[in-house]
Amino acid sequence: MANKISLTSENTKYLIDAFTHFFPEDTIYAADKPYVSGEFNWKNRADFIDFINRLTGVLIKSERDLENIKKAQLAVEAL
């Protein structure tokens, strides 16, 4: 079972905190693109998004996919 994910309550807390890091609520959008600085670009979020998708079954399609971001966050909090 190499694909099994085991989490402790401490790991779950880190995941909840990671949502704030990767999807800050005060993101500023300029034109059609969000303002990005180094760590907040889409490429650096890919591994986190993939892990959350495998963990919760919720796929976040973009940084503007607020509905699925919130669904995934609530699913992690429910663990």
Secondary structure letter of residue 79 according to DSSP: -
pLDDT at 37: 52
Q: Domain residues for 65?
A: 9-77
Residue-wise pLDDT tens digits, 11-67: 889 888 888 888 877 655 555 555 555 555 667 788 889 999 999 999 998 877 889
Positive or negative, the CA dihedral 8, 20, 68, 77 is positive
**Structural domain count of the chain:** 1
Q: What is the DSSP string of 23-58?
A: S-TTPPEETTEE---GGGSHHHHHHHHHHHHHHHSP
How does residue 1 score in pLDDT terms, banded at 50, 70 and 90? very low
Name the pTM for this structure.
0.71
* Residue 24 included in any domain: yes
Residue 70 to residues 11, 26, 45, 73, Cα–Cα distance (Å)? 19, 15, 16, 5
* Residue 4 included in any domain: no
List CB contacts of 66: < 8 A, sequence separation 6 or more. none
